[in-house]
Amino acid sequence: MTQLVYDGTFDGFLTSIFEAYEKKLQNFTIVRCTAFQPSLLGGHILVPTDQGKSLRVWEGLIKKLSRRSRNDVYKSFLSEIPEMEGMLTQFMTYVFKSSNNVEADVADRRVLAVTQTARMVHREKHRMEAFIRFQRMKDDVYYAAIAPDFNVIPLLVGHFKDRYADQHWLIYDKKRNYGIQYDHLSRTVTEVSIQFADEASHEFLPESMCHEEEAQYQRLWRDYFYSVNIGQRNNRKLHVQHVPVRYWRYLTEKQPAER
C-alpha cells in the first residue's frame, strides 16, 4: 500500500486526492506528516501542496455536491479524528464515481460518516461561539484561550469578525498552539503562534497582564451571576446538559469569586 504524505492542511489533503487520481493508484492511504510512519510493506510519496491541484478537486466537488455538503467535507477534515483521511477518501471516491448526487443517500456508511462527523464539529463550533470569554489586556487586545475537541478556529472567524468588528481581539487554541488575531483598524485576520510565559499558560491571564479595569469587570460579572442565581431552583443536570463541565474553565462566572 502506498502512503501519500501531506502537510496537514486542507489544500494538502485535496492535492493528495488529485495525485492519487492522476497516478491511478488503486491501493493507497493519505497520511499527514505528523502521523507518518514508514512501512515495510509499501512505499510512500511526499505530496507537496499545490493550490492549482487542490482547486481542481474542489471544483469537482462543486459540480457534484451542494454547498452544505461541501462544508460538511471541510468540517469533517477539521475534526482531526484518526480515521478522517480514510473516511473522506472513501466519501470523495463515491462522489466522483457516482453519476447522481450522493448526499441524500444517508443509508450509505460513507455519507453517514461525513454527515455525523461534520455535525459534531459544528456543535463544537457553536459552543465555542457561546462560551468564549474575552479578557482585556493592557494593550487593549481582547484575548480568549480555548482548547476545543476539534480544530474549529477556522470556523470562528466570520462570527467574531462580524460581532466584534470594532475591537482588536485574539482567540488562541492552546491545544493546537495557534490562533487568529483580528485588527479592527485594517479589518484583517491573521494566524498567529505564540510562546507563552509560565504565568500566562492558563485559560485566564494573570492580573499583571490585564487592563487595570479587567479584574473589576470580572468581579462585577461574577457578582451579578451569583446574585441572580436562585439556589432553590438549581437543576445541575439540565445546566450541565447546556453548559458541559469541560467548558467551565473558560467561563468567568465559573471562576471562584473573591469575597
Give the tens place of pLDDT for each residue, 202-216. 677 878 888 888 888
Co-location of 101 and 174 in the same domain: no
Same domain, 120 and 136: no
Residue 255 pLDDT > 80:
no
Q: Band of the pLDDT at 231, cuts 50, 70, 90?
A: confident
Same domain, 192 and 95: no
- 118 and 142 housed in the same domain: no
Band (201; pLDDT cuts 50, 70, 90)? low
| Residue 160 located in a structural domain | yes
Same domain for 28 and 69, yes or no, is: yes
Residue-by-residue DSSP string for the chain: -EEEEE-SSHHHHHHHHHHHHHTT-SSEEEEEGGG----TTS-EEE----HHHHHHHHHHHHHHS-HHHHHHHHHHHHT--TTHHHHHHHHHHHHHH-SS--TT-TTSHHHHHHHHHHHHHHHHHHHHHHH---EEBTTS-EEEEE--SS--HHHHHHHHHHHTTTS-EEEEETTTTEEEEEETTTTEEEEE-----GGG-SSSPPGGGB-TTHHHHHHHHHHHHHHH--GGG--HHHHHHHS-GGGGGG-GGGSPPP-
Say if residue 117 is in the same domain as residue 183: no
178: number of Cβ within 10 Å: 14
Residue 259's pLDDT band, with cuts at 50, 70 and 90, is very low
Instruction: Say yes or no: 114 and 137 in one domain.
Output: no
* Higher pLDDT, residue 248 or 149: 149
Residue 188: what pLDDT? 95
**180: which 3 cell numbers?**
487568529
pLDDT at position 176 is: 93
Are 169 and 250 in the same domain? yes
Query: In which band, very low, low, confident or very high, does the pLDDT at 32 lie, cut at 50, 70 and 90?
Result: very high
The closest of 236, 161, 219, 172 to 200, measured between CA atoms, is 172
Is there a single domain that holds both residue 96 and residue 190?
no
Res 55: pLDDT: 98
171 and 109, same domain (yes or no): no
> Which of the listed residues 89, 124, 159 is the one where a domain comes to its end?
124
Task: Check if the beta carbon of residue 164 is closer than 8 Å to that of residue 142.
Answer: yes
Q: From edge to edge, which strands make up the β-sheet containing 142-146?
A: 135-136, 142-146, 169-173, 178-183, 188-192
Asked which of 102, 124, 146 is the last residue of a domain, the reply is: 124
Residues 146 and 70 placed together within one structural domain of the fold: no
Higher pLDDT, 37 or 86: 86
When the pLDDT of each residue in the chain is averaged and rounded to a whole number, the result is 90
State which of 86, 104, 124 marks the end of a domain: 124
Read off the C-alpha cell for 131. Answer: 462560551
| pLDDT of residue 257 exceeding 80 | no
Over residues 40-95, the pLDDT tens digits come to: 677 899 999 999 999 999 999 999 999 999 999 999 999 999 999 999 999 999 99
pLDDT single digits (tens) 126-155: 999 999 989 999 999 999 999 999 999 999
Q: Which residue has the cell 492511504?
A: 29
Residue 246: inside a domain, yes or no? Answer: yes
Assess whether 6 and 114 both reside in one domain. yes
pLDDT in tens, 162-178: 999 999 999 999 999 99
Domains in the chain, number: 2
Strands 169-173 and 178-183: antiparallel
In a domain? residue 48: yes
Asked if pLDDT for residue 254 goes beyond 90, the answer is: no
Nearest to 58 by CA among 118, 108, 14, 3: 14
Does 241 have pLDDT greater than 50? Answer: yes
Residue 259 lies in a domain: no
Give the range of the structural domain holding residue 231, as residue numbers without chain letter.
Answer: 132-254
